[in-house]
Chains A and B, each alone.
Chain A
Amino acid sequence: MTKLSTKHLLGIKNITTEDIHLIFQTADNFKEVINRPIKKVPSLRDITIANIFFENSTRTKLSFELAEKRLSADVVNFSASSSSVKKGETLVDTVNNILAMKVDMVVMRHPNPGACVHLARHIDCSIINAGDGAHEHPTQALLDAYSLREKLGDLTGKKILIVGDILHSRVALSNIFCLQKLGAEVRVCGPATLIPKHIEALGVKVMMNLKEALMWCDVANMLRIQLERQDIQYFPSLREYTLQYGLSSRLLKEIGKDDLIIMHPGPINRGVEITTDIADGKHSIILEQVENGVAVRMAVLYLLAGQTKTA
């Protein structure tokens, strides 16, 4: 018997290593559940969860919704494009109105960093961050680390490389926190314009040459170039980016590592950061990541809901 150290999941930064292990241990059991003929348990049957998405999402939203439904929770969905946010309502007002309809938990994605922290200060219910701007995306980091733990066992001392648009990536930041808490060594690789200043302060080494970086690592997490967040031109052209930082089978052959693990948080720009044959090849664990996503999110929802007591 034990519980998480927090009431919300706002970021990996403010949870403990014990929390991460507890989530993984619980996720193991939910993975068994989602591989059964009847993929559903009644644990959250008296809970209502609002999925509030102020930014587009397919995978994360679907994954959360499936996780909620497999725990028998009632689910309401809300997306900003079809709401009163356009009419000028504030975030706290919007969410308070939803809570007035007796919702117990909120899963939120928002384009502004810290939106979930702001909400947690003003609202009395459990909040799960499903991505806030370029800040954190905790459940993605948890499912990435969980997938790696399945492949590699204990992550202590494992070498993990994050490649691409680190500057605009919430996945990168959450992954760095999560993997470091589990004892892994993390380095980043990408064009200098897309590496945040002072990233060394997090204990992360920057590598400029992709081939050298791949020689070093056990795992390469290939991030998507987030063109929608890039307000200025960070590199001359996509073609040039691909030549310098794209992963192709030719490059993989040159490195000659048979046990290298390739990850991608999706959605993939095929032929930009990663070629089709690699994405679908034997090194890739991209689809395992998606499967584990549901189990890990079920674990997070279950553990947080368990702390909200009835009456």
Chain B
Amino acid sequence: MEERTLLTNKALNYTLDRLAFEVYEQHVDFSNLALISIQPRGLPLGKRIVEKLSALVPDQKILHGALDVTFYRDDFRRREEVLVPSATDLDFSIEGKEIILIDDVLFTGRTVRSAMDALLDYGRPKNVELLTLIDRRFSRELPVQPDYTGRIVDVVKAERVKVEWTDDDSNNRVILFSSDQ
């Protein structure tokens, strides 16, 4: 198992800054916007985007929720073990809102598909966008494309991309694990 760093802490921080600016550029007024992180790995990313946005517009309140998609997955009964769900935490109505779904790595697109199903069970949003830190663009199994992308990565299926977060943001990084043939 070979390990390579795709984004260092510094580079990752610049990418987060840019993502926040892109969201700000598209939305400016945040009164009807809600960021929703896909559980579990979209949550640390969502928190940091919200922090960056709050620094940009300190006077606006940014809605942030967490959405668990376990019950909507299409691989139930097709894997060895049962997936244990995480908590859904949406303390606002999504009816008529502009939603940005957040996840760390976009791979097959299946998680995002289930997230859209899960989201629509809470109401009818005005529109839904997708923000991902890493886009593995050659591994898609469903027609899903992100609206905001941190970094596009071209890797084969057998390789793994992992985003690591530290609590104090001192050593966040994105790593690529390549399998040795």
Contacts and interface: CB of A to CB of B under 8 A. Distances in A.
A71 B76 CA distance: 12
Interface string A42-66: 1110110000000000000000000
Given A43-B76, A46-B77, A306-B76, A33 B84 contact: no
Interface string A21-56: 010011011001100111011111011000000000
A38 B71 contact: no
Interface residues of B, number: 20
Given A2-B84, A3-B81, A29-B68, A38 B122 contact: yes
Contacts of B77: 46-47, 305-306, 308-310
A26 B84 contact: yes
A11 B122 CA distance: 36
A302 B82 contact: yes
A33 B84 CA distance: 15
Contacts of B83: 1, 306
Contacts of B73: 43
Contacts of B88: 29, 32
A3 B82 CA distance: 6
A29 B81 contact: no
A37 B123 contact: yes
A226 interface: no
Contacts of A29: 68, 70-71, 85-88
Nearest to B88: A32
B72 to A, nearest CB: 6
Closest 7 CB pairs of A and B: A306-B82, A41-B71, A29-B85, A38-B121, A1-B81, A43-B71, A3-B82
8 contacts: A3-B81, A4-B82, A29-B87, A36-B122, A37-B123, A41-B72, A41-B121, A306-B77
